[in-house]
Structure formats: structure tokens, C-alpha cells
Amino acid sequence: MAGFRCMNQWTSGRTQTVTIDRAVPNIRSDRAAETRDFFVELLGFEVAMDLGWVVTVASPTNPSAQVTIISSDDPAAPGISIEVDDVDAVHAGAVERGLEIAYPLRDEEWGVRRFMLREPSGTIVNVLSHRSD
């Protein structure tokens, strides 16, 4: 899938190119199975990933149209997930800008490298790349 490329001007004056592959809204739910069923049964989404505490549903005709449902017992559940081509570069830019890192950069066992930060209005943003290993 071809991502959207944008140029960001960091405070140091250097320009960084980021490829955004997708942006996925995250819904926190204390009734995750019912929320999943709503999207699957009413709207025709299909389950793309189910780790128990987090489920992603995707459109069968447009797989980049996705919604992630996160169990309410995760107090740090992000409001949105942004998949980029180089999470390390975005992390370095966030640190350089002095943004609040809410979850450190790390490799997760389910095949992503990610970190979370707080955007100016307070929403937690999950920034990730899929690992190729």
C-alpha cells in the first residue's frame, strides 16, 4: 500500500519526510465483544487481528479502513494509531521537540515497533511501524 508522504519541519530547522501508511481510530470499550460485533454484524467489517485485549476490524473491500477496539482496563489506551514507515525517525523528532512520551519506544511481541505520545489537546497517539523480521 502506498502511504501518504508529508514533510515536517522540526524545531532544529531540518526537514523530515514521513510516510503515513494508515491512521486508525481506537475505541475504548468495557463491552469489547459487543463493540466488535456491532462493527462486524451491522457494518460488515471483518476481524483482522484479535489479541483478546485489543481487536482490529477492517473493511473487506478497503483493508486500510479500520477501527481498533481496546479493552477499557487499559488506562493508557490511545485515541488513534498512526502507522508510519520509520517510527524511529518520528520518535527522534518527538523527543527533539520536547513532546511528552507516554509509552517508550519498543518492539512488541506482536510484530510492531511503537511508542506513544500525548498530542497538544491531551489525546494519546500510538505511532508504529510493522517490523520486517
> Can you give the pLDDT of all 133 residues of the chain as single tens digits?
445 444 454 444 555 688 998 899 999 999 999 999 999 999 999 999 998 889 999 999 999 899 999 987 766 688 999 999 999 999 999 999 999 999 999 999 989 999 999 998 889 999 999 988 7
Q: What pLDDT is recorded for position 9? A: 46
Q: What pLDDT is recorded for position 4? A: 43
Q: Quote the CA–CA distance of 83 and 47 in Å, as a whole number.
A: 18
Cβ burial 56-76 (10 Å sphere, 16+ → b, else e)? bbbbeeeeeebbbbbbeeeee
Domains and CATH numbers, the chain: 18-130 (3.10.180.10)
Give the predicted TM-score (pTM) of the model.
0.77
Q: Quote the CA–CA distance of 6 and 27 in Å, as a whole number.
A: 26
